[in-house]
């Protein structure tokens, strides 16, 4: 077996398109997951027991089942409840829901890490609940939740490869098709590993840079 780089060069436009789909789904799914996770964590904290218990159960189910099973249920089980989606919207929905369960726990831990005395100080000053969240809880827990959030973002990028199962035209689907078409499985697998490694390294370095910059700003003295 001979490694032939010409196979890769010949299909660069398709590979670039697949990489673009992967990045777009990853970023959109991550942002939606952060938003939904934050809303879930906030609702569990302030919504009372009757909201906390059912949302907690949903979160535990999502965290306790593989993403592959979840995306199968959304794609193939959705039509049974009137939810019939094309592969890309289905993949985005599945990735967002999966991410939101983990982000909700990160934000819930961030809420708990903020000293209760700071919240009480805000209440004594007459802050509303929204003002306490915006001016006390969010700024203080942002630095706390950033490292696990970056780690989860990297995990989500790698999990996005599962979307190839429902024929989303992302990187894994595209490169696997090229490997089958050209009978160049070694080149395809090697290229897939290199591209994911490069993106993961770039994301991790960007996250560490953002964390250090935010830390400097957060604790800088006037």
Longest dimension (CA), the chain: 73
Contact between 71 and 156 (Cβ < 8 Å): no
For residue 194, the model assigns a pLDDT of 92
The structure's pTM equals 0.87
Q: Is the pLDDT at 221 greater than 50, yes or no? A: no
For residue 216, the model assigns a pLDDT of 63
Mean pLDDT across the chain, nearest whole number?
88
Percent of the chain having pLDDT more than 70?
A: 95
Q: Is the pLDDT at 35 greater than 60, yes or no? A: yes
For residue 119, the model assigns a pLDDT of 81
Does domain 5-219 fall under CATH 1.10.3720.10? My reply is yes
Q: Is the pLDDT at 33 greater than 90, yes or no? A: yes
C-alpha 124, offset from chain centre: 37
Mean pLDDT, to the nearest integer, of 3-21?
A: 87
C-alpha 50, offset from chain centre: 27
Structural domain boundaries in the chain? 5-219
Q: Is the pLDDT at 28 greater than 70, yes or no? A: yes
Mean pLDDT, to the nearest integer, of 46-63?
A: 92
For residue 159, the model assigns a pLDDT of 93
Highest mean pLDDT among 50-64, 182-196, 206-220 belongs to 50-64
Mean pLDDT, to the nearest integer, of 209-217?
A: 71
Closest CA to 108 of 157, 158, 160, 60: 60
Q: What is the pLDDT of residues 83-142, one digit of tens each?
A: 889 999 999 999 999 999 999 999 999 888 888 888 888 888 888 878 888 888 887 788
Contact between 176 and 188 (Cβ < 8 Å): yes
């Amino acid at each position: 077996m001979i490694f032939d780089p010409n196979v890769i060069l010949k299909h660069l436009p398709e590979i670039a398109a697949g990489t673009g789909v992967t990045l777009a789904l990853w970023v959109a799914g991550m942002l939606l997951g952060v938003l939904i996770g934050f809303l879930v964590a906030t609702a569990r904290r302030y919504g009372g027991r009757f909201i906390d218990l059912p949302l907690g159960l949903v979160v535990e189910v999502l965290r306790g089942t593989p993403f592959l099973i979840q995306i199968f249920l959304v794609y193939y089980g959705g039509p049974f409840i009137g939810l019939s989606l094309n592969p890309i919207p289905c993949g985005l929905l599945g990735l967002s829901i999966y991410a939101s369960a983990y982000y909700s726990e990160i934000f819930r831990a961030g809420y708990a890490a903020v000293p209760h005395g700071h919240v009480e100080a805000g209440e004594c000053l007459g802050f509303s609940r929204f003002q306490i969240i915006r001016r006390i809880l969010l700024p203080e827990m942002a630095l706390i939740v950033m490292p696990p959030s970056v780690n989860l973002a990297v995990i989500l990028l790698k999990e996005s490869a599962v979307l190839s199962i429902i024929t989303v035209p992302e990187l894994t689907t595209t490169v696997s098709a090229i490997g089958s078409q050209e009978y160049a499985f070694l080149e395809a697998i090697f290229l897939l590993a290199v591209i994911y490694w490069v993106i993961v390294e770039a994301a991790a370095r960007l996250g560490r840079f953002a964390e250090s910059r935010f830390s400097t700003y957060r604790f800088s003295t006037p």
